[in-house]
Chains A and B, each alone.
Chain A
Amino acid sequence: GNSVTQMEGPVTLSEEAFLTINCTYTATGYPSLFWYVQYPGEGLQLLLKATKADDKGSNKGFEATYRKETTSFHLEKGSVQVSDSAVYFCALKTGGFKTIFGAGTRLFVKA
C-alpha cells in the first residue's frame, strides 16, 4: 500500500542553520507530494507541493524536489528562524481521494 516515511524528530537547530528533513514514499502510480506544517495547537497548513517527477515545490524559503528515482521528497531550508519551530508532515496523494501522511518531524529552532 501507499505510505510515507520521514525522519524521526525532534530536530533541534540554532537560528540560521541549514535544515533538511528526509522523506521517502511508497506508492502505486504517480503521486502528488506535499509538505504540511502544524504550529502548536493548530491544524495543518500546506507548505509546498510537487505534482510530478523533478518538480520543485517552494514556499517561505522552504524547498523540496520530487525525486522519482529515489522515491524521495526531502524538505530543505537554507536558514531557519525561531518562527519555523513546528511539526512538519510529508504526505502523498495518488489518483484517489485521500492524503496519506508521515508521522511528522518536530523542529525546534533556538535563538
Chain B
Amino acid sequence: DTGVSQNPRHKITKRGQNVTFRCDPISEHNRLYWYRQTLGQGPEFLTYFQNEAQLEKSRLLSDRFSAERPKGSFSTLEIQRTEQGDSAMYLCASSLGAGTGTMNTEAFFGQGTRLTVV
C-alpha cells in the first residue's frame, strides 16, 4: 500500500497525558498536512510542512500541540497535557507542491487517528 499511513488508528488517553501520532506520507510527496475533524464537521487545517520546514500553523494549534517532520519524510504530532476538547479525528494528508511540474497537487489523506480523551 503506497497511500498515506497513520498510526495509531485509535487512541484513548486520560486527561493530562501526552500523546503522539505518526504519519507516513506518500513517498514522493514533499508537502504534508495535519487536519483535525470533529463530529459532523469538515476537516480543519492545523499545520503544513514543505519537506522538513513547518511553514504554517493555524490558530487552532495551541502551545500544547507540536508537529515535526525531521527528515522531510514521516511526521509526528504531539499533544501535551491533553484536554477533553482535544478529542477528535486527526487526519494527515500529503501532496506534491505547485512548482513540481504537475497540476496534480490535490491532497491524499490517511485513515486518521481517532483520539478520545477521558
A106 to B: closest C-beta gap in Å: 9
Q: Is the CB of A98 within 8 A of B42?
A: no
* CB-contacts of B92-112 with A (<8 A): 93, 97-98, 103, 105-112
In the complex formed, the residue of B with least CB distance to A101 is B42
Residues on B with beta carbons closer than 8 Å to the beta carbon of A98: 33, 45, 48, 56
Q: How large is the interface on B (under 10, 10 to 19, 20 to 34, 35 or more residues)?
A: 20 to 34
Q: Is the CB of A43 within 8 A of B91?
A: yes
Q: Is the CB of B106 within 8 A of A103?
A: no
Residues on A with beta carbons closer than 8 Å to the beta carbon of B40: 103-104
Q: Is the CB of A34 within 8 A of B43?
A: no
Q: Which residue of B4, B6, B55, B112 contacts A97 across the interface (Cβ within 8 Å)?
A: B55
Question: Per-residue CB proximity of B29-41 to A under 8 Å, as 1/0?
Answer: 0010100000011
A26 to B: closest C-beta gap in Å: 15
Q: B-contacting residues of A (Cβ < 8 Å)? A: 4, 32, 34, 36, 42-46, 49, 51, 89, 91, 93, 95, 97-104
Q: A-contacting residues of B (Cβ < 8 Å)? A: 4, 6, 31, 33, 40-45, 48, 50, 55-56, 91, 93, 97-98, 103, 105-112
List 17 A–B pairs whose Cβ atoms lie within 8 Å, in order of A's numbering.
A32-B105, A42-B111, A43-B91, A43-B112, A45-B109, A46-B107, A46-B108, A49-B106, A91-B42, A93-B105, A93-B107, A97-B33, A97-B56, A98-B33, A99-B33, A102-B42, A103-B42
